[in-house]
C-alpha cells in the first residue's frame, strides 16, 4: 500500500499557522513512509472561493518546502459527487428534508427547553410522496441529509487519540447538500478521500465528530476509510485559543525574518513529547515524526520560541543558502564572521555596513593616545597573518592595558559598537587601510 496523505484547504482566505501545521504533519507522514502528499483545493463554495487564495496556498507550501506529489480540485469533481449522491439516494442513505432554518432553530430551542440534546428528529422521513409533492408545488426546495445507521456504534482506533466510540443515535443526520444544490463539506470530502486512495487523514481534534459521521459514509459507499489522526489544536502562548493565531501565516513569518526551516522545526514538535530542535535537515524531522509521540493536551505556539529557534537555524545556514539575500559583495568569509551574531538574515546588512563603512564613533578622550598608538602598530603588522592577535599583543605590551580596557576601545573605534562578531574574524575583513583610518 502506498501511503497517501492530503492537505485540503478551502481557498477562502490565507493559510494560518494552524493550517500550516496540519499541512506539515501530513507531508511528514507521507515522506516518512515513502508515500505521496497531495494538495486538494476544497473549492465547492463558489461564492467565497478565490483563485488568488489558491495561488497563495501553492506559494506558501512552496516557501515551506512542502513539495506536493499531485493536486486535485473539488470544483472539477461535481459529476463524481452527483453519481455517488444518486447511488446513496437509491440505497436509502440520503433523503430530502424541507424544514426552513427558522423551523430548525425553533426545534432546537424546544429541545433545549426540555433538557434534550438538539438532535434532528427525522421528521422528513415521515413525509409521504404526496406531502413532498405538495411542498415542492409551493416552491419549497429540499436540502438533503445523510441517514445514519442507528443500529451499530461508530468505532475506530485514532492514531493520536486511541480507541474512539460514538453512538449514532446521539448524532443528527448531517446535511450534505443545500436546497440550491451546492455541497457542504462532509460528503464530497469522504468521496474524494475514497476516490483519491487517501490512506491517512491528519487533522484537528475539532473534526472528531465529523470523522464519526464520515465513517458511516465510507461504509455506505462500500469504500475502505483512511486511518485518522486527530491532533490537539494550537493555542497561544497564554494557553488558550487565540484569534491572533488565525492571522499568523507565511506573509507574517517572512516579514518577521523567520526562516521556513524554523517554522518546520517548531511545528513538527510542539504538542509532542520530543524537544523542539533547530533541525535544518528535513530528513531528520521526517525520521523522528511519530504520532505516538503526540499528546492530548493543547499544543502551545509561542512566537518568542519560534524566534529563538530561528536564531539557532540562522547560525547553521551556509552562504549558498542565503546568498541571494546578502548585500552585494558580501561573501563566505563575511557571512561566517557575522553569522553568530544574527537573529535574522537581514541583519547581515547592518554588519556589512560596519565592515565597509563609513561608521560613526564616539571616543573617550582618555583613549586618544592609546588609539593613536594602536594605529601606529596596525601600520606595521603583517595583515596576511592574524592581525587582531598581533595588534592586541603588541598593544598590551606597549600600553600595559589588558582585558576590557584593552579590547573595548579598539572595538568601538573599529566598529562603532560595544559588541559584535569576533574581532579576530572581523578585523581582516575591515582591512588594513580602513582599520588604520578608524583608529586614527
* Numbered residues of the known binding site for ATP: 243
Cα separation of the two ends of the chain: 73
Phi then psi for residue 92, to 5 deg, are 80, 15
Burial tier of 380 (Cβ tally within 10 Å: 0-12, 13-18, 19+): exposed
383-385-390 Cα angle (round to 5)? 80
Cα–Cα separations (whole angstroms), residue 109 to 115, 145, 234? 10, 21, 32
Q: Is the peptide bond before 397 cis (omega within 30 degrees of 0)?
A: no
Say if residues 119 and 111 touch (Cβ distance below 8 Å): yes
Sign of dihedral through CA atoms 92, 93, 97, 103?
positive
Distance CA 48, CA 40 (A): 17
Q: Residue 314: CA atoms inside 13 Å, Cβ hemisphere, count? A: 24
> Helices marked H in 282-358 — which ranges?
282-288, 303-314, 319-322, 332-338, 348-356
Phi then psi for residue 334, to 5 deg, are -65, -45
Closest CA to 230 of 294, 301, 154, 300: 294
Say if residues 334 and 352 touch (Cβ distance below 8 Å): yes
3-state secondary structure 152-201: CCEEEEECCCEEEEECHHHCCCCEEECCCCCECCHHHHHHHHHHCCCCEE
Q: Which segments are annotated as binding site?
A: 243
The percent of the chain in helix, strand and coil, each rounded to the nearest 5, is: 50, 10, 35
Amino acid at each position: 500500500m502506498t501511503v497517501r496523505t492530503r492537505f485540503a484547504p478551502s481557498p477562502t482566505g490565507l493559510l494560518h499557522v494552524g493550517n500550516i501545521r496540519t499541512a506539515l504533519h501530513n507531508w511528514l507522514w507521507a515522506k516518512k513512509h515513502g508515500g505521496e502528499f497531495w494538495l486538494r483545493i476544497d473549492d465547492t463554495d463558489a461564492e467565497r472561493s478565490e483563485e488568488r487564495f489558491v495561488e497563495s496556498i501553492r506559494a506558501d507550501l512552496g516557501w515551506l518546502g512542502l513539495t506536493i506529489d499531485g493536486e486535485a480540485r473539488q470544483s472539477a469533481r461535481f459529476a463524481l459527487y452527483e453519481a455517488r449522491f444518486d447511488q446513496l439516494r437509491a440505497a436509502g442513505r440520503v433523503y430530502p428534508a424541507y424544514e426552513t432554518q427558522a423551523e430548525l432553530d425553533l426545534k432546537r430551542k424546544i429541545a433545549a427547553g426540555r433538557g434534550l440534546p438538539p438532535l434532528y428528529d427525522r421528521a422528513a422521513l415521515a413525509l409521504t410522496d404526496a406531502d413532498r409533492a405538495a411542498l415542492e408545488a409551493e416552491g419549497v426546495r429540499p436540502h438533503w441529509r445523510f441517514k445514519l445507521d442507528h443500529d451499530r456504534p461508530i468505532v475506530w482506533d485514532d492514531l493520536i487519540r486511541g480507541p474512539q466510540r460514538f453512538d449514532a443515535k446521539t448524532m443528527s443526520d448531517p446535511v450534505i447538500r443545500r436546497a440550491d444544490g451546492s455541497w457542504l463539506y462532509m460528503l464530497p470530502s469522504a468521496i474524494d478521500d475514497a476516490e483519491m486512495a487517501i490512506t491517512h487523514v491528519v487533522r484537528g481534534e475539532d473534526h472528531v465528530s465529523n470523522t464519526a459521521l464520515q465513517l458511516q459514509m465510507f461504509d455506505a459507499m462500500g469504500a475502505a476509510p483512511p486511518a485518522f489522526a486527530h491532533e490537539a489544536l494550537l493555542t497561544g502562548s497564554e494557553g488558550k485559543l487565540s484569534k491572533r493565531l488565525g492571522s499568523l501565516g507565511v506573509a507574517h513569518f517572512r516579514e518577521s525574518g523567520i526562516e521556513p526551516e524554523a517554522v518546520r522545526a517548531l511545528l513538527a514538535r510542539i504538542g509532542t513529547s520530543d524537544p523542539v530542535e533547530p533541525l535544518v535537515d528535513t530528513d531528520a524531522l521526517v525520521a523522528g515524526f511519530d504520532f505516538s509521540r503526540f499528546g492530548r493536551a493543547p499544543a502551545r505556539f509561542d512566537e518568542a520560541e519560534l524566534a529563538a529557534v530561528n536564531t539557532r537555524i540562522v547560525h547553521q545556514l551556509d552562504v549558498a543558502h542565503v546568498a541571494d539575500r546578502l548585500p552585494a559583495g558580501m561573501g563566505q568569509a563575511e557571512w561566517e564572521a557575522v553569522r553568530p551574531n544574527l537573529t535574522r538574515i537581514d541583519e547581515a546588512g547592518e554588519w556589512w555596513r560596519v565592515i565597509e563603512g563609513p561608521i560613526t564613533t564616539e571616543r573617550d578622550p582618555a583613549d586618544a593616545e592609546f588609539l593613536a598608538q594602536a594605529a601606529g602598530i596596525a601600520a606595521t603588522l603583517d595583515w596576511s597573518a592574524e592581525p587582531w592577535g598581533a595588534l592586541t599583543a603588541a598593544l598590551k605590551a606597549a600600553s600595559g592595558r589588558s582585558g576590557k580596557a584593552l579590547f573595548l576601545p579598539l572595538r568601538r573605534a573599529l566598529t562603532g559598537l560595544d559588541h559584535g562578531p569576533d574581532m579576530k574574524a572581523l578585523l581582516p575583513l575591515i582591512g588594513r587601510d580602513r582599520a588604520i583610518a578608524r583608529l586614527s
